[in-house]
């Protein structure tokens, strides 16, 4: 028996340290394969169904490999674990790792590293201390809390600030961005929390990061960074289904009016506090600030994504974009006259130079192999240039690294195959492993595809959905998620349900995501209506969630500019865009949504997918073959009985 097998055995380290631990074959199989990939420095892709225990199945072999190297006095294996979100990072670092370290009795040094926006910037805190009169009352109140906390924190991790809302406007004033960080020129460099956290990560045996941070490091998108990954021997990606899109983002370029606004705000601040003699500074910054706000106003009010190449060719957008360049160039010229007067203005000069370069990239919309697209937020526009594929770049990196690469998630395979995932990342020679969930889906759940549903674009659809949901909500006594593919339909259904049922209705956007979930769990009879961000990473167990209704198959909008560009590219190569891109993407998204229902061996419930295409289109089979094997029905009454029986047994 290998040390890894032994750790997972009946008398192994986990059984000794964790009460109630019992060996699970799928978990042990995964751990053995992970250990091999680490030893052979090869790549492994594992789909581990919900409940397999994949976190332990990758952490244990990685830490054992590190331990063995230490015992043989060989160079220690440095491990990077990358997760999908900050919450998962924290759970892994604060919950799973201490347990595993204890069970293996390892002395491995572990570190948690978050993105720079999560660390207090001592320099900016001091700067804004001088000008807090400019902050509004709420921001000022939060600023006072941050300042008090700053006197006591050891880590500078803003996650400790529980009494300040995550989206408080104070954070841009007290954290840094790649643009405004003074790095080695910073007078507070020695006390910088971000630098300290990075140094700790460099020295640790195992570092927990998130995908955004990983790819920022890999693509060298953050100054003074880029040292972590080249030193690692083992890379592990959990929630790996997300990484192709995140990698594209970091291997591409972006230019946002937010960056312009931040630059203007900082220049105005410098003019008011230190370079008061250079009046042109204030004027040039105000002018650019106005131009970037006017540029945003050209786009629709509601946030949207669209084709920047097309927009750029339209006269009014082309002209407004050209006007931005004139004002940015003017600000650059004025800042240039102030170079060397202080570090802050030198930093602004570098940012203006870099923004001019980024501007030119976004103006060259005819570049090949790239998608040019934009997205808007209520206040800003971000222009993106995204490579159509990251496969070549990523696979070169994997080959050159000489490391073991492990990719895992509960949703990687489509119709039992991994081609879609592997091709996107250029992982041609990687081994695969597909591990079924240990849950008994046929007993624990039922899949309902209701009959007589209107077409996906039928005007009466919201009405039909709301009325169809009522008996299910009654039978499940709330404890129901309704997951939508569009905000519009979500709001229409919410409005209708508010008239038709008495259950508390929680609608995405009413409050922050975490708060909304807390409310859902606290008010047992509630119904939660949400879109994309609730399809993933939500873990509500037991009676708290017994019914999940999905409004339709989650195909990406055909208007999505990135999808359009990728589809054209596939067509040019003689491929089938629907089969190669849209279908696999939608299958993975649906698997994620369906994965919200059964989270534990004791869980039970019904999964309703309101889309006839699942049963009357040939590609419906691909979806069905990719989902867990739930019993199926088209009859709402049967689903109602299933829920009633469940409740009666309770
Ligand atoms: S080095 Fe950058 S992040 Fe650190 S204190 Fe200075 S400006 Fe802030």
Instruction: Quickly list DSSP for 55-115.
Output: HHHHHHHHHHHHHHHHHTTPPPPPEEEEESSHHHHHHIIIIIHHHHHHHHT----EEE---
Alpha carbon nearest to ligand 1 atom 8, residue: 121
From the CA of 193, give the closest atom in ligand 1: 4
Q: Could you tell me the CA-to-CA distances from 249 to 242, 254, 370, 383, 624 in Å, in that order?
A: 11, 8, 12, 11, 31
Q: Which residue minimizes the CA distance to atom 6 of ligand 1?
A: 186
Q: Which residues of the chain have pLDDT under 70?
A: 131-134, 221-227, 649-650
pLDDT of residue 219: 80
Q: So what's the pLDDT on residue 649? A: 65
Ligand 1 atom with the shortest distance to the CA of 195: 4
Atom 1 of ligand 1 has which residue's CA nearest to it?
A: 183
Please tell me the predicted confidence (pLDDT) of residue 570.
87
Ligand 1, residue 189: give the atom nearest the CA: 1
Q: Which CATH class, in words, describes the domain spanning 252-387?
A: mainly alpha
* Candidate from 183, 184, 348 with most ligand 1 atoms within 8 A of CB, to mutate: 183
Ligand 1 atom 3 nearest Cα: 121
Cβ neighbourhood burial of 340 (10 Å; 0-12, 13-18, 19+): exposed
> What is the CA(475)–ligand 1 centre distance, in A?
55
Among protein residues, the one with the nearest Cα to ligand 1's atom 2 is 181
What is the model's pLDDT at position 537?
84
* Distance of CA 177 from the midpoint of ligand 1 (Å): 9
- Same topology, domains 3-115+195-250+390-435 and 441-649? Answer is yes
- Our mutation pick for probing the ligand 1 site, out of 158, 172, 189, counting the most ligand atoms within 8 A of Cβ, is 189
- Domain 3-115+195-250+390-435 carries which CATH code? 3.40.50.300
| DSSP code of residue 284 | H
Task: Say how many Å lie between the CA of residue 345 and the centre of ligand 1.
Answer: 15
Distance 225 CA to ligand 1 centre (A): 13
Helix, strand or coil for residue 16? helix
pLDDT value of residue 221:
64
Ligand 1 test: best mutation among 120, 121, 127, most atoms within 8 Å of CB?
A: 121
Q: Of all protein residues, whose CA lies closest to atom 4 belonging to ligand 1?
A: 192
Count of CB atoms situated within 10 Å of the CB of 475: 22
Which residue out of 157, 172, 176 has the highest number of ligand 1 atoms within 8 Å of its CB and is therefore the one to mutate? Answer: 176
Host H or E run for residue 291:
helix 279-297
* Model confidence pLDDT, tens digit, residues 516-552: 899 999 998 999 999 988 898 888 999 999 999 999 9
Q: Which of 106, 62, 113 is nearest to 89 (CA)?
A: 113
Whole-number Å distance between alpha carbons of 284 and 280? 6
Whole-model pTM: value is: 0.86
The predicted structure's pLDDT at residue 165: 81
Dist. CA 194 → ligand 1 center (Å): 7
User: What are the residue ranges of helices labelled H in 298-440?
Assistant: 308-313, 315-337, 343-363, 391-401, 419-425
Give me ligand 1 centre to Cα 375, in Å.
29
Which atom of ligand 1 is found nearest the CA of 182? 7
CATH 1.20.1740.10 fits 441-649, yes or no: no
For ligand 1, residues with CB inside 6 Å are: 121-124, 176, 181-183, 186, 188-189, 192, 194-195
Domain ranges in the chain are 3-115+195-250+390-435, 120-175, 252-387, 441-649
Q: Which strands, in side-by-side order, build the sheet including 445-448?
A: 505-507, 527-530, 480-483, 547-550, 605-609, 445-448, 631-633
CA separation for the pair 56, 62 (Å, rounded):
10
Q: Which atom of ligand 1 is nearest to the CA of 183?
A: 1
Neighbouring residues of 529: CB distance < 8 A, sequence distance ≥ 6: 482, 484, 490, 493, 494, 497, 505, 506, 507, 508
Instruction: In whole angstroms, give the CA distance from residue 445 to residue 431.
Output: 32
């Amino acid at each position: 028996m290998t040390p890894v097998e032994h750790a997972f055995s009946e008398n192994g380290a986990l059984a000794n340290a964790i009460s109630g631990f019992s060996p699970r074959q799928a978990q042990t199989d995964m751990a053995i394969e992970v250990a091999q990939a680490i030893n052979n420095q090869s790549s492994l892709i594992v789909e581990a169904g919900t409940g397999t225990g994949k976190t332990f199945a990758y952490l244990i072999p990685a830490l054992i490999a590190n331990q063995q190297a230490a015992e043989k006095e060989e160079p220690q294996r440095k491990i990077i674990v990358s997760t999908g979100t900050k919450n998962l990072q924290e759970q892994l670092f604060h919950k799973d790792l201490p347990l595993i370290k204890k069970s293996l009795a390892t002395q491995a040094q572990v570190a948690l590293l978050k993105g720079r926006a999560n660390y207090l910037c001592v320099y900016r805190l001091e700067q804004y201390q001088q000008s807090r009169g400019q902050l509004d009352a709420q921001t000022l109140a939060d600023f006072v809390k941050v300042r008090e906390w700053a006197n006591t924190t050891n880590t500078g991790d803003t996650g400790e600030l529980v009494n300040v809302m995550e989206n408080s406007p104070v954070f841009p004033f007290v954290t840094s961005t790649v643009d405004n960080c003074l790095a080695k020129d910073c007078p507070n460099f020695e006390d910088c929390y971000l630098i300290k956290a990075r140094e700790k990560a460099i020295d640790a045996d195992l570092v927990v990061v998130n995908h955004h941070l990983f790819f920022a490091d890999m693509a060298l998108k953050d100054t003074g960074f880029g040292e972590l990954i080249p030193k690692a021997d083992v890379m592990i990606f959990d929630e790996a289904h997300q990484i192709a899109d995140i990698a594209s983002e970091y291997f591409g370029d972006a230019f946002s009016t937010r960056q312009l606004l931040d630059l203007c705000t900082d220049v105005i601040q410098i003019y008011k506090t230190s370079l008061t003699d250079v009046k042109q500074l204030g004027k040039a910054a105000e002018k650019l600030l106005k131009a970037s706000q006017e540029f945003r106003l050209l786009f629709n009010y509601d946030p949207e994504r669209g084709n920047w190449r097309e927009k750029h060719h339209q006269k009014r957008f082309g002209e407004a974009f050209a006007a931005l360049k004139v004002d940015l160039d003017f600000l650059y010229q004025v800042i240039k006259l102030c170079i060397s007067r202080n570090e802050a203005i030198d930093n602004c000069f570098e940012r203006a130079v870099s923004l001019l370069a980024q501007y030119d990239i976004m103006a060259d919309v005819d570049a090949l192999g790239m998608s040019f697209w934009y997205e808007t937020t209520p206040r800003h526009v971000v222009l993106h240039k995204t490579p159509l594929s990251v496969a070549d770049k990523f696979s070169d990196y994997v080959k050159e690294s000489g490391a073991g690469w492990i990719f895992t998630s509960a949703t990687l395979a489509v119709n039992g195959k991994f081609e879609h995932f592997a091709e996107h990342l250029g992982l041609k020679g990687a081994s695969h492993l597909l591990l079924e969930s240990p849950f008994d889906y046929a007993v624990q759940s039922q899949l309902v595809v209701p009959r007589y549903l209107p077409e996906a674009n039928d005007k009466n659809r919201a009405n039909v959905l709301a009325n169809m949901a009522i008996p299910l909500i009654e039978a499940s006594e709330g404890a129901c998620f309704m997951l939508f593919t569009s905000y519009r339909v979500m709001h229409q259904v919410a409005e209708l349900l508010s008239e038709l049922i008495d259950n508390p209705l929680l609608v995405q956007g009413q409050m922050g995501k975490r708060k909304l979930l807390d409310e859902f769990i606290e008010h047992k009879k509630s119904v939660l209506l949400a879109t994309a961000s609730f399809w993933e990473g939500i873990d509500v167990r037991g009676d708290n969630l017994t019914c999940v209704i999905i409004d339709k198959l989650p195909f990406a909008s055909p208007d999505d500019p990135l999808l359009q560009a990728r589809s054209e590219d596939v067509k040019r190569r003689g491929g089938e865009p629907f089969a190669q891109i849209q279908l696999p993407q939608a299958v993975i998204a649906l698997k994620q949504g369906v994965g919200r229902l059964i989270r534990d061996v004791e869980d039970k419930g019904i999964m309703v997918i309101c889309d006839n295409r699942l049963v009357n289109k040939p590609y419906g089979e691909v979806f069905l073959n990719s989902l867990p094997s739930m019993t199926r029905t088209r009859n709402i009454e049967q689903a109602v009985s299933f829920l009633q029986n469940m409740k009666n047994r309770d």
